[in-house]
């Protein structure tokens, strides 16, 4: 049974004290995570150790970095390596978020390198893919996201790709208040799974969690997560509000 995941992406928000309080407000609730549920907090780099310490004793709670370098080490001022993340026992990392692609010019090739480094150290990549508005309006979103998967992930073995979590982001729905309809979300998630199945077989594809990452909120999580190929969400703004993210966690199927 593949994992059902509620992943919080704090992005560049919250002070250290605010982050501590948000975690405390969420973690004080006994959400009774099932064995196939995971809750992940992707926090800014300075907060990783603090967040790790707060969740270490809790079942099915994990801390993720929001990015990593595609280089092992060296003269790359300001970058954070996979080895550094591993050294503080961080086991998840978001890569390829649309903001990283758009603002920092990250390419599919770079993300393939990041994927390799993460898997070499036993970290779980949360690989983001998704199309901008002009691609959606042109009706070519399937080809667009398939290329992202193929160029960044399809060099992996079947055993390794099963270790990757995929997060589909309709870029046109991030921070805009727009959300893909339940039918649109299920359609593209099913398509992504079919692309993986064509390469690796249906059994492998059925083991990979695919999250929805476009304006997931407390009032739409139940409907989105009820889709058979939507295995949870990568949540931005709503993850910064304790009562909202708690409801999103509860919506996991």
Contacts of 84 (CB under 8 A, 6+ apart): none
Q: Residue 127: what are its φ and ψ, rounded to 5°?
A: -90, 120
Output the six-digit token pair for 150: 């193929």
Give one DSSP letter per residue of 181-200, joined into a string: -HHHHHHHHHHHHHHHHHHH
Active site residues: 97, 169
Cα torsion through 72, 54, 247, 212, rounded to 10: 10
Angle separating helix axes 242-250 and 16-27, nearest 10 degrees: 40
């Amino acid at each position: 049974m593949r994992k059902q995941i509620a992943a919080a992406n704090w992005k560049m928000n919250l002070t250290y004290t605010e982050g501590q309080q948000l975690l405390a407000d969420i973690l004080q609730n006994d959400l009774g995570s099932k064995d196939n549920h995971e809750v992940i907090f992707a926090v800014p780099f300075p907060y990783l150790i603090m967040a790790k310490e707060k969740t270490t004793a809790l079942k099915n709670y994990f801390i993720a970095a929001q990015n990593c370098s595609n280089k092992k080490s060296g003269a790359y001022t300001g970058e954070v390596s996979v080895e550094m993340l591993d050294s503080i026992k961080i086991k998840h990392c978001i890569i390829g978020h649309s903001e990283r692609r758009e603002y920092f010019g990250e390419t599919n090739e770079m993300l393939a390198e990041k994927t390799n480094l993460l898997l070499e150290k036993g970290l779980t990549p949360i690989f983001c893919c998704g199309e901008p508005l002009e691609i959606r309006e042109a009706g070519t979103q399937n080809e667009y996201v398939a290329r992202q998967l193929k160029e960044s992930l399809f060099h992996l073995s079947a055993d390794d790709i099963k270790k990757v979590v995929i997060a589909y982001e309709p870029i046109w729905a991030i921070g805009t208040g727009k959300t893909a309809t339940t039918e649109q979300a299920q359609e593209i998630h099913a398509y992504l799974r079919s692309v993986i199945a064509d390469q690796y077989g249906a059994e492998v594809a059925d083991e990979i969690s695919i999250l929805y990452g476009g304006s997931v909120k407390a009032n739409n999580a139940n409907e989105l997560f009820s889709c058979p190929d939507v295995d949870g969400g990568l949540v931005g703004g709503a993850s910064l509000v304790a009562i909202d993210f708690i409801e999103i966690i509860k919506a996991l199927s």
